[in-house]
Chain A
């Protein structure tokens, strides 16, 4: 407690931890070297890792280049507007050309004729120049990156020069490869278009006379449009039909005009953009496309939208300083957010929406079935029932029920009686809360073990694992708090967090192993169980000693209870009484017919009875849950332990001065202080438990009445190939964590206020 005393052992421990770390690192290296030497195919192994690393490095480098490039581009919006205009026009055109060229719809091999041959020749001949431009651009990025790293801009020009010359040389001496390859096929057109658009952007950026601006814009659009038409020389060509063209164009213009008017902006430039988009839709969407159509139509189809877009870009007057800063700032937020939002949308949001959509179709996603898949889930029509009430009749006969209900009533009665004495309706004290808590848990388990089914089973998992992990985590956090060996003890409890669920399942499967009682047990639990049976049915000295010990402990507990009641200090009586009752029952069985894996039968013979932890329904579920509890307790402990340490010590000292006991301080001060953290722990664990999959998959794959939603979803979707039901199950899983999600959102909103 006091710093001076605590400092020494702590220092000692951290040196122990440091030594452990060193040992771990050395072990790591040794094993790695051993691994390399032992494998005859070590080359293959390292090739795999290294080739992955290289492709990742390339991907990361390219993305980082793009990202930094975007940042540099918008930096120019405030520094040099004209340059910004040129660069922006160039990048936008390059991207558009890249997308057009890569599009499957348009990119279908059409006929070759004289014109297309000429175009092909042109691209091949000019390859060195475009290559130089392309590498020059990379040179800009590299130069800027070096400059950024070194903190001086001196290297940009030489870097550009080096790369451009390299590109020229490569283009000239390797024309054949470059022209026939990726570069000319994919990058030639975007680069040329970018260069042209950049030039026009530069001119536009320096002009403020509206008439000249619009002329320049239209001219730029015209040239780019013709270029685009020729780029798609081997694509499907539209066959014009005046209605197919006019209606979308007018509709597009009208739609954009309406939006502009609603937002209170001038309609004119927006109408141009809308018409351009409408035309493009009309020409390539609604019109017939034909690989044999005249090339001129292709050119016209491209020229119109490009000219309209050019006019749109040049219509507005030159932006002022305020607008420039705005542009730069707005763009920054999207540059910073863009990659993350794209990834999240592509891997989470859009797939989730599509899952909802798929859940309304049949197994092969062909026929609309409405909510029939959900009907099958909730109507128990799958391989495993979602709700199984067939054994509900056994509920009153279950011993858990018979113990739980009286305890609940007892606790309630005590609470009311104590409350009446103190003038309240109900009093939550140890003597009333303990029976209620225990009774409730027994009652819940009784219900979960008689009313079965996948969804009920999931709820059982959530109830048991969340309660047990949180309570155990809290208990360990309290026990370890201020203990001398806190760090090491916590590390051991926390360790399972680092082990995979699959690994944990394998570990525990070994523990749950059961064999014939005549052989040696290999599972720890059955070994203990059978050992206990041998002990209780035996007649040697150990049996006698244990019996005497049990009886003495019982007497001690009884004596303590009596003296406590006599002194009217009721603290701790309830839990001790519970333990005493349980122990008394155990002793009765131990002395009587025996308890454990070997028992005495009614006629005096010995009966072997190992427990099939994995197979015996319904409590095999509990044994599976224990695996997750083993993993999650560490998580709860770490977080709750930090929260306990964060409780202001003034509170505790004030309470101590007032004469509060340790127990009172914990229940009345520490616990209320950490309620919010308990909320976080509980919600996090609920989400983890709700989607539990690996443990069930590895140990039972849902057999023996242990199915859970996530495993059922996996089996339906990927083993039985029923995408409809699989999707519906995924959505049910999602809906079941929705309350947690709303709770989290509310907490976050509170935190932000």
Chain B
């Protein structure tokens, strides 16, 4: 801790100062100790991913610091070669095919809604906003079974008394496809997106809107010309969130895609690797590292936005 020397009241003796000095040094040491502990798991994974199969099985990753353990890229080659049976390359493409639309589409939709909640007067606005945002806490398990039924059979309503069934949504045969996953992510991401964007957009200065209205701009023009350009930071923050969340998702993908190898994202692919007991143990570290690579890049390069989004989403509450 960089702190000015505050003289502790009542402790003048040399021994007291010495003890105090030791105690003061503890926090920094402790902090780095915690950081070390927090990093060891990831470090171990990273080191192991460069060790051969026998090395990984025979000894712990930390032995590379003392022994002459050879490093190898074999694991990465196996995992990233499309023709090998344990490749996760195709699942990488699938993950992108899910994460990109699931990130872009909710941003637009949520921005409209956030603007309406913040700056358009209409009856029931407050109530509707609270209802929407309270869905944040709803566990998504609650929607999974009906959604899977919707994707695999469409939505049909049997009219009582008439003995006829009306098809509300035809069967697009989406079960087992990435489309089902990103559609689901889009819906599930919206409450948080609206909450986050609303916090920001409602905080924009009022005068801007008033003067624009006086100039004859309608809501569409204001949204397009003023709100969107001003909201770029929070849009970026949400985009990062949604990307990480959809890229790292396991539950929704597992439910909607399941065993369809053609559409599996990386999370399922590496979980499958982990499931083949023992056989592919040595590929797991490389696979997990490849899976985590893109989120980590996004995280490190855009951390500022990420943290800002996190704070905007919760501290003001």
Known: A340-B110, A483-B28. A630 touches B139 (CB 8 A): no
- B286 → A minimal CB distance (Å): 11
* Residue B77 at the chain A interface, CB threshold 8 Å: yes
- B181 → A minimal CB distance (Å): 12
- Asked if A348 contacts B139 (CB within 8 A), the reply is no
Task: Among A24, A343, A737, point to the contact of B138 (Cβ < 8 A).
Answer: A737
**Interface with B: A265-273, A595-603, A634-642, which one?**
A634-642
Residues of B within 8 A of A476 (CB): 31, 34
- Asked if B162 contacts A285 (CB within 8 A), the reply is yes
* Residue A509 at the chain B interface, CB threshold 8 Å: yes
Residues of B within 8 A of A72 (CB): 220
- Asked if B310 contacts A527 (CB within 8 A), the reply is no
Residue tally, chain B, CB below 8 Å to A:
138
* Residue A717 at the chain B interface, CB threshold 8 Å: yes
Residues of B within 8 A of A214 (CB): none
- B262 → A minimal CB distance (Å): 9
Mask, A1-45, CB within 8 Å of B = 1, is: 110011000000000000011001101100100010011111011
* Residue B274 at the chain A interface, CB threshold 8 Å: yes
Residues of B within 8 A of A656 (CB): 6
- Asked if B2 contacts A482 (CB within 8 A), the reply is yes
Give CA–CA (A295, B12) in the complex, Å. Answer: 107
Residues of A within 8 A of B296 (CB): 24, 495, 498-499
* Residue B184 at the chain A interface, CB threshold 8 Å: yes
- Asked if B301 contacts A506 (CB within 8 A), the reply is no
Task: Among B2, B45, B148, point to the contact of A510 (Cβ < 8 A).
Answer: B45
- Asked if B316 contacts A751 (CB within 8 A), the reply is yes
- Asked if B315 contacts A495 (CB within 8 A), the reply is no
* Residue B172 at the chain A interface, CB threshold 8 Å: no
Interface centre among A643, A659, A694 (most CB of B within 10 A): A694
Give CA–CA (A521, B94) in the complex, Å. Answer: 36
Please name the residue on chain A nearest to B248 by beta carbon. Answer: A500
* Residue A135 at the chain B interface, CB threshold 8 Å: no
* Residue B69 at the chain A interface, CB threshold 8 Å: no
Residues of B within 8 A of A316 (CB): none
- Asked if A340 contacts B120 (CB within 8 A), the reply is no
- Asked if B300 contacts A24 (CB within 8 A), the reply is yes
**Interface with A: B98-106, B203-211, B229-237, which one?**
B98-106
Give CA–CA (A226, B248) in the complex, Å. Answer: 55
Give CA–CA (A355, B147) in the complex, Å. Answer: 10
- Asked if A6 contacts B295 (CB within 8 A), the reply is no
Majority DSSP secondary structure for residues of A touching B: helix
Please name the residue on chain A nearest to B184 by beta carbon. Answer: A347
- Asked if A508 contacts B41 (CB within 8 A), the reply is yes
Please name the residue on chain B nearest to A509 by beta carbon. Answer: B274
Known: A343-B186, A493-B38, A693-B251. A49 touches B96 (CB 8 A): yes
Majority DSSP secondary structure for residues of B touching A: helix
Give CA–CA (A41, B80) in the complex, Å. Answer: 11
- A54 → B minimal CB distance (Å): 11
- Asked if A285 contacts B250 (CB within 8 A), the reply is no
Interface set, chain B 129-152, CB cutoff 8 A to A? 130, 132-148, 150
Interface set, chain A 722-753, CB cutoff 8 A to B? 723, 726-727, 729-731, 733-734, 737, 740-741, 744-745, 747-749, 751-752
- B287 → A minimal CB distance (Å): 8
- Asked if A21 contacts B187 (CB within 8 A), the reply is no
Give CA–CA (A286, B159) in the complex, Å. Answer: 10
- Asked if A352 contacts B142 (CB within 8 A), the reply is yes
Interface set, chain B 1-29, CB cutoff 8 A to A? 1-4, 6, 8-10, 19, 27-28
Which residues from chain B sit less than 8 Å from chain A, CB to CB?
A: 1-4, 6, 8-10, 19, 27-28, 30-32, 34-35, 38-42, 44-45, 48, 56-63, 77, 80-83, 89-90, 92-94, 96-97, 100-101, 104-106, 108-110, 112-113, 115-117, 120-122, 125-126, 128, 130, 132-148, 150, 159, 161-162, 164-167, 170, 178, 183-184, 186-188, 190-191, 194, 218-220, 223-224, 244, 247-251, 254-255, 258, 267, 270-271, 274, 284-285, 288, 291-293, 295-301, 303, 307, 310-311, 314-317
Return 30 A-B CB contacts under 8 Å, by A number. Answer: A21-B301, A45-B90, A64-B108, A103-B166, A105-B167, A337-B112, A337-B113, A337-B117, A343-B187, A351-B143, A489-B31, A492-B35, A503-B291, A510-B45, A523-B60, A638-B311, A659-B9, A661-B8, A680-B314, A680-B315, A693-B251, A694-B267, A698-B274, A714-B254, A718-B258, A723-B145, A727-B145, A734-B139, A744-B136, A748-B317
Which residues from chain A sit less than 8 Å from chain B, CB to CB?
A: 1-2, 5-6, 20-21, 24-25, 27-28, 31, 35, 38-42, 44-46, 48-49, 52-53, 56, 59-60, 64, 67-68, 71-72, 75, 78, 103-105, 148, 281, 285-286, 328-330, 332-333, 335-337, 339-341, 343-344, 346-352, 354-355, 358, 476, 479-480, 482-485, 489, 491-511, 520-524, 527, 560, 569, 630, 633, 635, 638-639, 642-643, 646, 656, 659, 661, 676-677, 679-681, 683-684, 687, 690-691, 693-694, 697-698, 710, 713-714, 717-718, 723, 726-727, 729-731, 733-734, 737, 740-741, 744-745, 747-749, 751-752
